[in-house]
Amino acid sequence: MRRAIYPGTFDPLTNGHLDIISRACRLFDEVIIGILVNPGKQPLFSLAERMALIEEVVKPVHPQVEVASFSGLLIDFAHQVGAQAVIRGVRSARDYEYEQPMVLMNRRLAPDVETVILIASAENSDLSSTLIKEVFSLGGSIEGLVPDPVIRKMKERK
Bridge partner residues of 31 (DSSP): 4, 65
| Distance of closest approach, residue 108 Cβ to ligand PNS, in angstroms | 9
Residue 21 CB coordination number (10 Å): 23
155 labelled catalytic: no
- Window of 4-12, 110-118, 119-127, 130-138 that interacts with ligand PNS by CB under 6 A: 4-12
Rounded to 5°, angle at Cα 113 from 108 and 118 = 105
91 labelled catalytic: yes
From residue 65 to residue 94, what is the string marking binding to ligand PNS with x (rule CB under 6 A)? --------xx--------------------
Residue with smaller CB distance to ligand PNS, 10 or 136: 10
| Distance of closest approach, residue 139 Cβ to ligand PNS, in angstroms | 26
Nearest-angstrom CA–CA distance, 85 and 95: 19
Bridge partner residues of 70 (DSSP): 36
Binding status of residue 105 toward ligand PNS by CB under 6 A: yes
| 83: Cα separation from own chain's centroid | 16
Half-sphere exposure of 6 toward its Cβ, with a 13 Å CA cutoff?
A: 28
The contacts of residue 91 (CB under 8 Å, 6+ apart) are 16, 119, 120, 125, 126, 127, 128
Binding status of residue 36 toward ligand PNS by CB under 6 A: yes
- Window of 42-50, 100-108, 135-143, 150-158 that interacts with ligand PNS by CB under 6 A: 100-108
Binding status of residue 115 toward ligand PNS by CB under 6 A: no
- Catalytic positions: 17, 41, 91, 129
Interacting residues toward ligand PNS by CB under 6 A: 7-9, 36, 73-74, 102, 105-106
